[in-house]
Amino acid sequence: MHKMIIAAVGLIALAASGPAVARGGGEAGDLQAARLNALAGGPLSERDKELLERYGCESGTPSAFCQGLAHPRHYYRARRRVYQH
Q: What is the pLDDT of residues 26-42, one digit of tens each?
A: 788 888 888 888 888 88
Below-50 pLDDT ranges, the chain: 21-22
pLDDT at 74: 64
Domain range enclosing 31: 25-72
The whole model's pTM is what?
Answer: 0.53
- Residue 33 phi, psi (nearest 5): -65, -40
Q: In this structure, how many other beta carbons lie within 10 angstroms of the beta carbon of residue 38?
A: 24
| Residue 31 CA: distances (Å) to CA of 21, 43, 80 | 16, 11, 41
User: Would 82 be classed as within a structural domain?
Assistant: no
Identify residue 75 by its one-letter amino acid code. Y
- Long-range CB contact pairs, 34-42, < 8 A, 24+: 35/61, 38/63, 38/65, 38/66, 39/63
pLDDT at 24: 55
Q: How many domains does the chain have?
A: 1
User: Would 11 be classed as within a structural domain?
Assistant: no
User: Would 62 be classed as within a structural domain?
Assistant: yes
Report the C-alpha gap between 41 and 11 in whole angstroms: 47
pLDDT at 9: 79
